[in-house]
Amino acid sequence: MRSAHTVEQVRAAEGELMARLPDGVLMQRAAAGLAYAVIDLLGGAYGRRVLLLVGSGNNGGDALYAGVLLARRGCLVDAWLLSDRAHEAGVAALRAAGGRVVRFDVRRGAPSTARPDVVVDGIVGIGGRGGLGNEAVAALAAVPGVPVVAVDVPSGVGVDTGELDGEHVRADVTVTFGTHKIAHLVDPAAAACGVVQLVDIGLDLPPAPVEALQPGDVAALLPRPRPDAHKYTRGVVGVRSGSAAYPGAGLLSVAGAATGLCGMVRYVGDRAVADRVREAHPEVVGEGRVQAWVVGSGGGEHAGRELAEALDEGVPVVVDADALAHVSGRLGVPAVLTPHAGELAAMLGTGRADIEASPLAHARRAADELGAVVLLKGRHTLVAEPEGRVRATTTGVPWLATAGAGDVLGGLIGALLAAGLEPFDAASVGSWLHGAAATLASRGGPVVAGDVARHVAAVVRHLPSRA
């Protein structure tokens, strides 16, 4: 599991560890990991030019000591101090190693120096708030187009919220220490992090409020048939989606449900759509008992009725698309709601831009108010449960932003619910499989929704073996 902790959790763990270690050891561990990440990005050290942007906090100290190691490996290291206060021992050590240290003054402009090969962002650490100061903005503007390696987090992002408030660094690589932070997993801040590299510095951490499943986690959670299984013991999912106006939604919802993750799929809906479903998926049957329902995709004016009929059966339900407009409170059954930003904005009575600016806060709010698991679709889809725990999906490719992909996702989650997973696990495992299947189907090129459904089985086959 990739865990993302809060600033408070990290600081408490660092304090406990520093109490057991000699002074400066933790910073030296971080600096070493940072220096090796810079060398890896540059493809070597000797003769490379490195510019450190150094703030007043410990991130500036990490950058300075990394600069010492880089200078000893043959890099030409400059450090621009963006504050009158800097880590004094780090400054002295860098000067002793041959690095050049100058005070950056926004009124005088950038110091005279050759164009660097990389910029190390040691401006603001995990305690930073509210964007960047004028000196930092001017320093970054003086080196446009140079790759940036951020120390711990890109300076200026909301570390605990994943939000952006003002100017911020956009990194190519972020080197973080001890654990991931929420900003590494939650957009829009996560999009500013680039590739995130984790350096283990020996922290002992509590459970994280935000997680991201990894292949081993999915393998452990995925329901697998027992040797004596039959189609009913593996679970039956019902699909109420599609309409005469949107028949494709029904077909794609069924395609997601019929990927073999449960024992049987039942389709209940428009007769013309049912005929097309049976033609495309002859294994799908009609009405009968189910362990979970998928409702809403392409349902149009009938979505409210379909949702009410599904809820009457008292089994878990996945509520998507048109059916979301009929959710105004707690549904009375275990539920997964799967809105995109616009749909969640309508449900919460706010604007889409508000949701996109702070998806974590809004997903948590919706889960709490509606008493359901909320899957908020996005580049990093978020799955929030009413108790506040969140999982971020980091699989997928931009090509997955295609019509019908959400219909397939709803079917996948419904199958996992029917197979016995709790809503939080069903939503997060389904989202992970959906993104991984899109990546496999894409191979760097375009995909359509049907391709995603067809590649789910291959993703499952390649998951790690369970112990």
CA distances from 106 to 125, 148, 368, 442 (A): 21, 20, 46, 46
Question: Helix, strand or coil for residue 130?
Answer: coil
Q: Is 180 left (phi over 0), alpha (psi -120 to 50) or beta?
A: beta
Is the model's pLDDT at 317 over the cut of 80? yes
215-461: CATH class: alpha beta
Domain positions in the chain: 2-212, 215-461
Q: Which of 56-65, 84-93, 126-135 has the lowest mean pLDDT?
A: 126-135
CB 378 within 8 A of CB 359: yes
* β-strand pairing of 382-384 with 373-376: antiparallel
Residue 151 in tokens: 């120390």
Question: Helix, strand or coil for residue 95?
Answer: helix
pLDDT of residue 315: 98
Is the model's pLDDT at 4 over the cut of 70? yes
Specify the length of the chain in residues.
467
> Which of the four CATH numbers 3.50.30.30, 3.50.50.60, 3.40.50.10260, 1.10.40.30 does domain 2-212 have?
3.40.50.10260
Residue 278 in tokens: 């049976």
Mean pLDDT of the chain: 96
- Mean of the pLDDT values across residues 27-37? 97
Q: Which residues, including other chains, have CB under 8 Å from residue 272's CB and lie 6 or more apart? A: 244, 247
Is the model's pLDDT at 125 over the cut of 90? no
- Mean of the pLDDT values across residues 401-426? 98
Q: What digits encode the pLDDT tens for the residues 201-220? A: 999 999 999 999 999 999 99
CB 437 within 8 A of CB 453: yes
- Mean of the pLDDT values across residues 27-33? 96
pTM higher than 0.75 for the full model? yes
Cβ atoms within 10 Å, residue 59: 29
Is the model's pLDDT at 467 over the cut of 80? no
- Mean of the pLDDT values across residues 101-108? 90
Is the model's pLDDT at 131 over the cut of 90? no
Is the model's pLDDT at 256 over the cut of 70? yes
